[in-house]
Amino acid sequence: MDADSHRTGPDEGRTSLPVPTTSDVARAWGRCIAHGIEPGQQVQFEQVGRAALGELEEAHAELVRCAHPHLQWISRGIAETGSIVLLTNARGTVLRRYGRIDLASKDVATASRVGVSLDERCVGATAPSIALAERSPSAVAGSQHFCGSLRNFYCVAAPVENLSGELLGTVDVTSCGRPLGFDALALVVDVVRAIENAMFQPAEDLAVAAFHVHPGLAETNSACLLLVDEAWTIRAANRAARLMLGCGPSDLLGRSFGEVFDVRQGLGNPGSIEMSHWMTSGGLQLFGRLRWGCGPRTAREATYDRLFATNPTGTGQAVAPATEVLNLHEAQARSIELAMQRTRGNVSAAARLLGISRQTIYRWISR
């Protein structure tokens, strides 16, 4: 939005307002004008009713569960700065507030109560309202706020997505009367990654695949994460995984794991805590691991053996497909090799996996 387009608004008094220079804030001002919001009006921070608060709590229980420990940590870190941390839902309603309210200004305490709406139609251009509308991190300082009564506020916010890439809400850091004296935007972006990654949990029928080009980042909030079911179909992907693999929000969903990763390179042992060398079908070399939840042996093991297990000699050659005809000795050798690989050399576990005695495996090893 340029200065001329701003002057064509219905209220000529708006021409004296400073025009924001950042594009997301400028677009937000345009939306505020379209909503009929007056820049001089006082913002009323009204809470929803008690019954609605209960409904909010129930509807967003999973988001709050994943966000709570992370927001507690950052609120402790910024406790003495006079800033507070907010978690909102996708409509901008405050779900949780963290921080030293006694050190925050009265305006911040009023504006940040649980149940208050920070939607753009209610409060004009603010960091959480812009983060929701633009679906990207935002910082709004002082006079960049559309409504005059908020021009002492300084806030940053970033949107939170669920496993399907749908908008859940925002994390916001706000202060009043003085600029934020630390890199609040980077902090908010990092904590949002941590919240989104907390939603990726293994289960009996689901594995979490964590990977990265740099092995040291595959165990951090920068990790690329996928949820994979027993049929080795990708059910969810975080933002880092989509970016690393060059895919859109829904491009990975429903695809076979073997379409994305070169299964001939092997994926190590499922459930191993150690990183394995992976490679995408496009040649990108990665470090990754698969982690299943606790549960009984299911069809996923057989599918893994058929599609992903590699020759234990380390040559990277794929195991012979099921259609290849083997004599009994070769078939036994292949089965024992796979079982020993899967159990990382544990003879007792391999014997249980195959339903044979340990002596049979020892005889094969001795030969």
For residue 168, how many other CB atoms are within 10 A of its CB? 23
Task: Supply the pLDDT for residue 270.
Answer: 52
Task: Supply the pLDDT for residue 2.
Answer: 37
Task: Supply the pLDDT for residue 27.
Answer: 94
Task: Supply the pLDDT for residue 44.
Answer: 82
Long-range residue pairs from 238-243, CB within 8 A, at least 24 positions apart, any chain: 238/193, 238/196, 238/197, 238/200, 239/161, 239/193, 239/196, 240/193, 240/212, 241/211
Task: Supply the pLDDT for residue 178.
Answer: 87
Q: Considering only the top CATH level, what class is 320-367?
A: mainly alpha
Task: Supply the pLDDT for residue 272.
Answer: 54
Please check whether residue 181 is in contact with residue 81, taking contact to mean a CB–CB distance below 8 angstroms: yes
Task: Supply the pLDDT for residue 90.
Answer: 96
Mind listing the pLDDT tens digit of every residue in the chain (367 residues)? 333 333 333 333 333 344 445 789 999 999 999 999 888 778 888 888 878 888 998 999 999 999 999 999 999 999 999 899 999 999 999 999 999 998 888 889 999 999 999 999 999 999 999 999 999 999 999 999 999 889 999 999 999 999 888 999 999 999 998 899 899 999 999 999 999 999 998 887 888 999 999 989 988 989 999 999 888 899 999 999 999 999 887 889 999 888 888 765 555 555 555 678 888 878 898 998 888 776 554 545 545 554 454 433 333 333 334 444 455 666 677 777 777 776 667 788 777 777 778 888 777 776 6
The CATH fold assigned to 201-308 is Beta-Lactamase (3.30.450)
Task: Supply the pLDDT for residue 268.
Answer: 55
Domain locations along the chain = 3-198, 201-308, 320-367
| Ramachandran category for residue 246: left, alpha or beta (phi over 0 → left; psi -120 to 50 → alpha) | left
State how far the alpha carbon of 208 is from the alpha carbons of 82, 177, 196, 229, 293, in Å. Answer: 38, 44, 13, 9, 9
CATH architecture of 3-198: 2-Layer Sandwich (3.30)
Q: How far apart are CA 277 and CA 285, in angstroms?
A: 7
Model confidence over 251-302: pLDDT tens digits?
899 998 888 887 655 555 555 556 788 888 788 989 988 887 765 545 455 4
Task: Supply the pLDDT for residue 4.
Answer: 37
Model confidence over 217-228: pLDDT tens digits?
988 989 999 999
Q: 3-198 and 201-308: same fold?
A: yes
